Amino acid sequence: MTIHYRVPYTFYGDNRFSYQRSRVVILPVPYEGSVSYQHGTSGGPHAILTASRQVEWYDIELGREVPDTAKVHTLAEIEPMTDSVRDMIESIRTVTEKNIQKKKFQLMLGGEHSISLGAIQAYQAKYRDMSILQIDAHSDLRDTWENSAYNHACVMRRAAESVKRVVQVGIRSQDSTEALYASEHKDQVRIFYGDDVPVQKISESLSSHVYVTIDVDGLDPSIMPATGTPEPGGLSWKQLITLLRFVAKSHTIIGADIVELSPLSSNAAPDFLTAKLAHKLIAYTQFKRLL
């Protein structure tokens, strides 16, 4: 009889590449400590990895088998520390620093948006001129939220205080303090509202080294209902993919994260979309010469 082995529980269901041999590392972080509205982002990494096992390795757009060249290695999940978001951010920073030092392209899968700060701090220590491309429905520029300066609603304020520039795309929701901060710090924060995605202009706003953070709620809720605050009027799949391809070609994307997927038991399409988005980011960054 034929024995059927289960596909490995890794990105692409592929475990051919050890950490040593890998070029791309997937870092799952099922952390959910400061979410305001609906819960469920701690299930994000598991759902993305599960869906990724169904993503076709061959990429039609690039005409290549992506995992063969990208050499993807999936790391162990970082255990969530729910009592301290600062400790969580610190752990992510430490892991990211190691991956940067080993010259890996890190793609972190969340979890809630506050985790991005740990990776951003690590990249910023290495790339002083770094800018951030943030896809999101929310500016996340609050100074504090729910008595914390490290809440997911403050993550880009903390980032904007240290990196060269944050470029936000897909924004449909802000409070007055965020709008004021953005208007008073036009050099640090550039905002593109709603589904206005002028790729050339966005690209020109970025410095040469770019960290990409994608909150899935930047996408329209018609294709991304699986998130805590599904704001209407977001990006289409094509708009997002076109932008990422353009930026990957014209700039150097040094690392990335995809956060805030909150899986729905009744609908697997958003999980698959997110896995495919991760695949596209891997393809665009690892096959730059084909773009």
**Least distance between Mn ion and beta carbon 153 (Å):** 9
Q: What tokens were used for 266?
A: 């009744």
Looking only at Cα atoms, what is the longest distance across the chain?
A: 70
Q: Is 215 in the site for Mn ion (CB under 5 A)?
A: yes
Q: Which helix (H) or strand (E) holds 38?
A: none
C-beta of 93 vs 138, nearer to Mn ion: 138
Single out the residue of 32, 112, 217, 220 in contact with Mn ion (rule: CB under 5 A).
217
Contact between 111 and 44 under an 8 Å Cβ cutoff? The reply is yes
In the complex, the smallest distance separating the C-beta of residue 62 from Mn ion, rounded to whole angstroms, is 29
In the bound state with Mn ion, the residue whose beta carbon lies nearer, of 138 and 165, is 138
Pick 106 or 139: Cβ nearer Mn ion: 139
Instruction: Give 128-194 as a 3 state SS string.
Output: CCCEEEEECCECCCCCCECCECCCHHHHHHHHHCCCCEEEEEEECECCHHHHHHHHHCCCCEEEEEC
- Scanning 25-33, 70-78, 114-122, 207-215 for contacts with Mn ion by CB under 5 A, the matching segment is 207-215
Q: C-beta of 240: minimal distance to Mn ion in Å?
A: 14
Q: Which is nearer to Mn ion, 215 or 271 (CB)?
A: 215
CA–CA distances in Å: residue 268 to residues 95, 108, 262, 264, 273: 30, 20, 11, 7, 9
Question: 51, 270 in Cβ contact below 8 A?
Answer: no
Q: Which of 108, 109, 107, 118 is nearest to 84 (CA)?
A: 118
Could you say which residues in the range 115-144 bind Mn ion, by CB under 5 A? Answer: 136-138
Structure tokens at 154: 């403050």
Instruction: Point out which span in 183-191, 195-203, 210-218, 263-271 binds Mn ion (CB under 5 A).
Output: 210-218
Residue 136 C-beta: closest distance to Mn ion, Å: 4
Instruction: State the binding site for Mn(2+).
Output: 113, 136, 138, 140, 215, 217
Using the contact rule CB under 5 A, the part of the chain among 197-205, 215-223, 237-245, 275-283 near Mn ion is: 215-223
Q: Report in angstroms how near the CB of residue 215 gets to Mn ion at its nearest.
A: 4
Contacts of 13 (CB under 8 A, 6+ apart): 7, 52, 53
With contacts defined by CB under 5 A, how many residues of the chain interact with Mn ion? Answer: 5
Which residue ranges make up the site for Mn ion (CB under 5 A)? 136-138, 215, 217
